[in-house]
């Protein structure tokens, strides 16, 4: 299975470690992690467009929702957007940990994510 790993910017340094621990699958990192484009006028649109293209090519999305400050299992707005896009393309959506306790929990539930509870062996 081809899997796109995504996270909030604060967690980018964790992605290579998580990627290394995923066995029997091909993994890709989101565009913002792969490199920066400083001279592009609207680099965020460029990253989003490239991430959407990656979503089209993979079978699943793995959201690396780590602890941010006091919030467990953080999912930020960019990840939520990519999750919605992946859902619209009928891709599997995995969460590394459980759903966060946020005001948009119902919206997250509607995307039908599979919570791995930290166990990468549960990716199927």
Strands 114-115 and 92-95: parallel
Give the model's pLDDT for residue 39.
58
**Beta bridge pairs of residue 2:** 26
**Domain CATH for 30:** 3.40.50
Q: Take residue 99 and report the two structure tokens written for it.
A: 């759903």
Each residue's pLDDT tens digit, 86-112: 999 999 999 999 999 988 889 999 999
Q: What is the pTM of this model?
A: 0.90
- pLDDT tens for 63-72 read 999 999 999 9
Structurally, how many domains does the chain consist of?
Answer: 1
Give the domain extent around 55: 2-122
Cross-strand partners of 28: 4
């Amino acid at each position: 299975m081809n899997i796109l790993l995504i996270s909030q910017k604060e967690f980018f340094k964790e992605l290579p470690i998580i990627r290394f621990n995923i066995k029997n699958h091909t993994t890709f990192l989101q565009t913002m992690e792969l490199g920066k484009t400083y001279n592009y006028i609207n680099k965020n649109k460029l990253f989003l467009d490239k991430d959407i293209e990656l979503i089209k090519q993979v079978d699943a999305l793995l959201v690396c929702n780590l602890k941010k400050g006091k919030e467990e299992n953080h999912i930020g707005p960019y990840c939520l957007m990519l999750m919605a896009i992946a859902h619209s393309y009928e891709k599997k959506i995995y969460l590394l940990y459980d759903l966060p306790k946020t005001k948009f929990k119902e919206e997250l539930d509607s995307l039908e994510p599979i919570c791995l509870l930290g166990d990468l062996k549960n990716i199927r």
